[in-house]
Amino acid sequence: MRAAIRPIGALLAAALFAIPLYVVLVNVFKPGGDIAASPWSLPHRFTLANLRAVLDRPDHLYWNGLINSLEITGISIVLVTVLSAMLGHVLARSSSPLANVVLGLLVCGLMIPTAVIVTPITQILRSVGLMNTVPGLVLANLGYYIPFGVFVFTGFIRTVPVELEEAAAIDGAGRFRTFWQIVFPLLRPASASVLIFLGVWIWSDFLNPLLILGPTSGTTVTVGVYHAIGEHQSDFGSLFAFMVLASLPILLFFLAAQRHFVKGLTGGTSKG
């Protein structure tokens, strides 16, 4: 009996999470009238008009948002991964008690919701002239997500034998060269995990792009969904299509990097 409870529970949980996905997917390919009449049924009159309506919008809301999202997400995740890997290496190899204090402070930073610090972030960006700019949003992402990257990389680096770095030092390699040529190539699973998590979080972020970019500096695909909803919205087909198209790039990115995902999450659990 107990052996059957776990798979049944897993199936129920999967079904619960799959319900919203099912509703979105089936309604993308329905005419608007069919969505209102029967949102749960499969499409009886299959149509691609909803997708075309989003892709061919006169204001290019989706395409502009897609370009901004690709730029912001790509720059942010690369910078966070590189900087957090370097800082994680320093903390993992340091024997000073201060390293643990710094790591503890960074972990505490993970517990602070974005909404709590959004006001001081906007004030700082406005004071340095980066408000309503893409670099300002990227900088905000760096400050908020580097603690997560450091947390993952520090645990993973502790599983990498320090003898490899000692051998490189004996051969005359400096610390910078040792990290990039010896250590960092071994961090591929951890890097994939950090990239996937950050990619999903930054791509799906709504509040920071809405407030930091503002209406004058474009929009992201997530904020584009919000802008696509009018006060008296009745075109639910286009809305569902916008949701699917907004999620598609990050879904493809996850599928491309998922083979390193689990290994990267568990890599820091086998040692110190």
If the chain, 272 residues long, is cut into consecutive pieces of 10 residues, what is the mean pLDDT of each piece? 76 85 87 81 85 89 91 95 93 87 86 85 92 92 92 88 87 86 88 90 91 78 82 73 90 78 53 42
pLDDT at 100: 86
In terms of Cβ atoms closer than 10 Å to its own Cβ (0-12, 13-18, 19+), residue 155 is buried
Q: Which CATH superfamily is domain 60-269 in?
A: MetI-like (1.10.3720.10)
Residues spanned by CATH 1.10.3720.10 within the chain? 60-269
Read off the tokens for 95: 């024997």
pLDDT at 47: 86
The amino acid at residue 78 is V
pLDDT value at residue 32: 76
pTM for the whole thing?
0.84
pLDDT of amino acid 269:
46
Residues 208/114, Cβ–Cβ less than 8 Å: yes
Q: What's the confidence (pLDDT) of residue 272?
A: 41
pLDDT of residue 11: 85
- In whole angstroms, give the CA distance from residue 82 to residue 145: 12
Residue 86 CA to residue 242 CA, distance in Å, equals 38
Residue 218 near residue 65 (C-beta atoms within 8 A): yes
What pLDDT does residue 266 have?
A: 54
pLDDT of residue 145: 92
pLDDT at 270: 45
On whether the CB atoms of residues 194 and 152 are closer than 8 A, the answer is yes
